Amino acid sequence: MAEDMKTLEENFRQQNKSCFILGASGETGRMLLQELLERNIFSKITLIGRRQLTFEGKEYEKLVQEVVDFEKLDEHAAAFQGHDVGYCCLGTTRAKAGAEIFVRVDHDYVLKSAELAKSGGCTQFHLESSRGADKNSNFLYLKVKGQVEADIEALGFDRYAIYRPGVLLVDRQESRPAEWLARKFLGAFSSVCSTSMAIPIQVVAKAMVSNTLLQPEQKTEILENKNIASLGKIEGK
């Protein structure tokens, strides 16, 4: 399968496509950017965010950065034009931002960005969501995640991939005590087997890139934690 992935990468690379990443300053976004740079399948990568990011190394020299005000996204429509593929790793938490800001970021900002991307010619959209996402859930976090999944599907991208990872096994820069305990407990199993509850963040990034190269029959696909784990083990190197 690795050899097949190498062929897919080369064929995709020759199409001279461009992409953008929302949320490149976050844990998954940073890992996704690194994976994309290493596998070099896009001729252009644009980071869209609220601030300029600083990188060290020649591999980052060709990156394009667009700084936007998410409260006034209509004024930044040009930043979303001309991309073939969009990746969204944007998000916060209710505990960190409060319920109102959480909904604004994880639903409103994400949906508006997807709308602008679609209008700008983007045909393929990849959304990092969450295990248990359900627009009918009684839990705000899962309800918002499920609602934005459905709202973006209604936009009608040619291809739309939803990733629902479990607990992300990563040492965050910010402190989230509950996640820290979960990572310590579940991390003991991650090196032995995949679980339906947790996944290393590197695997999520690898899965998102590998899945970009595939051509599923359905326009919309939902990858649960187990599917992400399997796909994330396939590399073209």
End-to-end alpha carbon distance in the chain: 11
Which of 145, 160, 163, 206 is catalytic? The answer is 145
Q: Phi-psi category of 130—alpha, beta or left, where left has phi over 0 and alpha has psi -120 to 50?
A: beta
Q: Name, in order, each residue with C-beta under 8 angstroms of 192's C-beta and a sequence gap of 6 or more.
A: none
What Å distances lie between residue 155 and 37, 89, 112, 179, CA to CA? 29, 18, 11, 33
In angstroms, the CA 23 to CA 68 distance is: 12
Angle at 83 (CA atoms; ends 204, 173), nearest 5 degrees: 35
Residue 1, Cβ density class (10 Å: 0-12 exposed, 13-18 middle, ≥19 buried): exposed
Catalytic one among 87, 109, 118, 141? Answer: 141
Q: How many residues does the chain have?
A: 237
**How many Cβ atoms are within 10 Å of 115's Cβ, its own excluded?**
17
Decide if 105 contacts 97 (C-beta within 8 A).
yes
Does 72 qualify as catalytic in the annotation? no
163 is catalytic: no
Alpha carbon distance 225, 164 (integer Å): 6
- Residues annotated as catalytic (active site), given as ranges: 141, 145
